[in-house]
Amino acid sequence: MDRAGKTQNLWQTTCAEPFEAPALAEDIAADLIVIGGGFTGCSAALTAAQSGMSVVLIEAETVGHGGSGRNVGLVNAGLWLPPDAVCDELGQEAGTRLNTALAKGPDTVFDLIEEHGIECEPVRGGTLHCAHAPGGFSELQERHRQQAERGAPVRLLDGEEARSHSGITGIHGALHDARAGTIQPLAYAKGLARAAQEAGARVFENTRAMRIARDADQWRVEAAGGTLTAPRLLVATNAYHQPFEGAELPTLTPVNFFQLATAPLGHNQAARILPGGEGCWDTGKVMSAFRTDRAGRVIFGAMGLPDALGLHEAWARRAFSRRFPDVAEHPFEHFWSGRIAMTSDHLPKIMRIGQGGYAIFGYSGRGIGPGTLFGDAIARALMSGDEGGLPIAPVNSHKERLTWAKGPFFEVAARLIHGVSARLR
């Protein structure tokens, strides 16, 4: 116990997928090396192993240690950007290709869960994008227009209907997306790793990559415990990348996100809050998110560093009380935080790092569906040598400007908004 009596990551406490793997202790030659045991890496390892490739996946900590095991658990059909903005950034053809691919993300995730019997509390009740203020409803109207034009099963709820439907007070409308849902994200990551292992992939935890090099037609990865060689390499470490020698790797902006979870509510209380099991986030500039889990806990999160827990937790308690006044005094029992890998255009990247080598990063807070899809797609591209089926065109390099300032900017914004809300009460 710590953080004033709270246990840490709820997902570690409730994970029903007891996946464990040994540390590397030998040299191995394979067809594909994957560095990173999150959604992207495990998805790629699964697809490649199912296709008959010999695969080795190494994870510096444990599977799901990074953002894959710390996020809210919302399985969304798309990115943070609305689809028109994706097309504005990439051009109509490339943007449509990415939007179309990501729209299938929830189907892919929930199909994998069913196929492999992953015990991760899947609930496909959709998501609710909630207007935190009257002006936020205009944004939702525009998002509804864009999604409806593309045939998405979305529905716009006015303020009264949204409050009645969700049990959340103080919201001014919501956009419901029936394609989406929620999962226990750490259990999903571990379930993907288990499925990859069952398909023949070799998975090693507590195995840090220290140096990579391209020798002739082979990648060589020197890791704690042994050396790996393969003609194909995927680096899928995202916001939790630990530097190693030998390759130019991308720059990105890490943004911190913290979460608090209540003790389980009583049956009658739980039945009044998100009875459809939707996952929610709001239209605030410093976004917050809320959902429930199978045991009846309410999980509430927002941007912010854990080092400023006192400020952020006080804000969360006030915001929680406004949203859920019937359970305002219910105690928080869990606290945890993680990092989001942001890019300046909020688009994910596939970056070539050499012949037969790629790095994937930058989901900007939408890692479950996109990470699963990108992992599957990059595995197929590595097997075939054809990049044409990738959801987004690879780049040869990617640099972000002023990353040293952008992360602190988000934290300052979070502290200002969370602090100002206290003074306005």
Spatial strand order in the sheet of 226-230: 28-29, 226-230, 218-223, 209-215
Helix locations, 51-184, DSSP H: 83-90, 92-103, 105-116, 134-149, 159-166
Q: Is the residue at 130 inside a domain?
A: no
Which whole number is the average pLDDT over 309-329?
83
| pLDDT at residue 411 in the model | 47
**2 has pLDDT over 70:** no
**333 has pLDDT over 80:** yes
| Confidence band of 1 (pLDDT split at 50, 70, 90) | very low
| pLDDT at residue 287 in the model | 85
Residue type, 386: D
**420 has pLDDT over 70:** no
**69 has pLDDT over 70:** yes
CATH number at residue 44: 3.50.50.60
Q: Is the residue at 86 inside a domain?
A: yes
Nearest CA-CA partner of 378 in 237, 246, 232: 232
* Bridge partner residues of 288 (DSSP): 302
CA dihedral sign of residues 315, 318, 324, 327:
positive
**423 has pLDDT over 50:** no
Distance CA 46, CA 34 (A): 11
**60 has pLDDT over 50:** yes
| Confidence band of 306 (pLDDT split at 50, 70, 90) | low
**Domain limits for position 49:** 10-122+182-252+342-421
Q: Is the residue at 112 inside a domain?
A: yes
Tell me: the pLDDT tens digits for 116-131?
999 999 999 999 999 9
Q: Is the residue at 158 inside a domain?
A: no
| Confidence band of 413 (pLDDT split at 50, 70, 90) | very low
Task: Calculate what percentage of the chain has a pLDDT beyond 70.
Answer: 91
Contacts of 285 (CB under 8 A, 6+ apart): 413, 417
Q: Is the residue at 62 inside a domain?
A: yes
Number of domains observed in the structure of the chain: 1
Q: Is the residue at 279 inside a domain?
A: no
**4 has pLDDT over 80:** no
Tell me: the pLDDT tens digits for 190-223?
999 999 999 999 999 999 999 999 998 999 999 9
Weakest-pLDDT range from 317-326, 362-371, 374-383: 317-326
**148 has pLDDT over 90:** yes
Q: Is the residue at 168 inside a domain?
A: no
Which whole number is the average pLDDT over 140-151?
98
| pLDDT at residue 205 in the model | 99
Q: What distances in angstroms separate CA 361 from CA 146, 343, 347, 358, 395, one per listed residue?
A: 26, 9, 9, 10, 12
Which whole number is the average pLDDT over 226-243?
94
User: Which of 196-200, 309-313, 332-336, 362-366 has the highest average model confidence (pLDDT)?
Assistant: 196-200
> Does residue 70 contact residue 336 with C-beta atoms inside 8 Å?
yes
| Confidence band of 401 (pLDDT split at 50, 70, 90) | low
Q: Which residue has the tokens 């040869």?
A: 396
Q: Give percent helix, percent strand, percent coil of the chain, each to the nearest 5.
A: 40, 25, 40
| pLDDT at residue 263 in the model | 94
Query: Whole-structure pTM over 0.85, yes or no?
Result: yes
Which pair of structure tokens corresponds to residue 310?
């006192």
Nearest CA-CA partner of 311 in 210, 239, 419: 419
Weakest-pLDDT range from 22-26, 64-68, 73-77, 420-424: 420-424
> Does residue 418 contact residue 312 with C-beta atoms inside 8 Å?
yes
Q: Is the residue at 192 inside a domain?
A: yes
Tell me: the pLDDT tens digits for 33-49?
999 999 999 999 999 99
Distance CA 337, CA 247 (A): 29
Please spell the DSSP secondary structure of 258-306, one letter per residue: EEEEEPPPPHHHHHTSSTT--EEEE--SS-EEEEE-TTS-EEEEEE--G
Q: What does the angle CA 332 – CA 12 – CA 288 come to, to the nearest 5 degrees?
A: 50
Contacts of 177 (CB under 8 A, 6+ apart): 76, 77, 126, 127, 129, 147, 152, 153, 154
SS3 category, 337: strand
Tell me: the pLDDT tens digits for 76-122?
999 989 999 999 999 999 999 999 999 999 999 999 999 999 999 99
Contacts of 103 (CB under 8 A, 6+ apart): 77, 78, 150, 152, 179
| Confidence band of 308 (pLDDT split at 50, 70, 90) | low
